[in-house]
Amino acid sequence: MAVERVGFIGLGIMGAPMAANLLKAGFQVTVWNRSPSRTKPLVDSGAKGADSPAAVAAASEVTLSCVTNSADVEEVACGPQGVIHGAHRGSTYIDCSTIAPETARNVARELSARGVDMLDAPVSGGDVGAKAGTLAIMVGGEAPVFERCLPVLQAMGKTIVHVGPNGAGQVVKLCNQVACGLNLLAAAEAINLSRRAGVDPAKMLEVVGAGAAASWMLSNLAPRAVNGDYAPGFMVDLMQKDLRLVLDAANDSHTPLPGTALVSQLFQSIQAEGRGTDGTQSLVDAIAKLAR
pLDDT at 253: 94
Question: Taking Cα atoms as reference points, which of 101, 132, 226, 248 lies closest to residue 264?
Answer: 248
Catalytic residues: 173
pLDDT at 233: 87
- H/E stretch holding 161 reads strand 157-164
> How far is residue 100's CA from residue 274's CA, in Å, rounded to a whole number?
26
Q: Say whether pLDDT at 2 is over 90.
A: no
Burial of 80 (0-12, 13-18, 19+ CB in 10 A): exposed
Instruction: Read off the pLDDT of residues 143-178 as tens digits, 9 standing for 90 and up.
Output: 999 999 999 999 999 999 999 999 999 999 999 999
Question: Would you say 284 and 191 are in contact if contact means Cβ atoms under 8 Å apart?
Answer: yes
Confidence of residue 1 (pLDDT cuts 50, 70, 90): confident
> How far is residue 80's CA from residue 109's CA, in Å, rounded to a whole number?
17
What structural domains does the chain harbor?
5-164 (3.40.50.720), 171-291 (1.10.1040.10)
Q: Which residues have CB under 8 Å from 250's CB, separation 6+? A: 256, 257, 260
Instruction: Read off the pLDDT of residues 218-238 as tens digits, 9 standing for 90 and up.
Output: 999 999 999 999 999 899 999
Question: Strand 117-120 and strand 92-95: pairing?
Answer: parallel
- 175-214 burial, b for 16+ CB within 10 Å, e for fewer? ebbbebbbbbbbbbebbbebbeeeeebeebbeebbeeeee
Number of C-beta neighbours around residue 4 at 10 A: 11
> How far is residue 126's CA from residue 8's CA, in Å, rounded to a whole number?
18
Instruction: Read off the pLDDT of residues 77-88 as tens digits, 9 standing for 90 and up.
Output: 999 999 999 999
Q: How high is the mean pLDDT of the chain?
A: 97
- Percentage of residues of the chain with pLDDT beyond 90: 97
Confidence of residue 64 (pLDDT cuts 50, 70, 90): very high
Q: What is the DSSP string of 79-145?
A: STTSGGGTPPTT-EEEE-S---HHHHHHHHHHHHTTT-EEEE--EESHHHHHHHT-EEEEEES-HHH
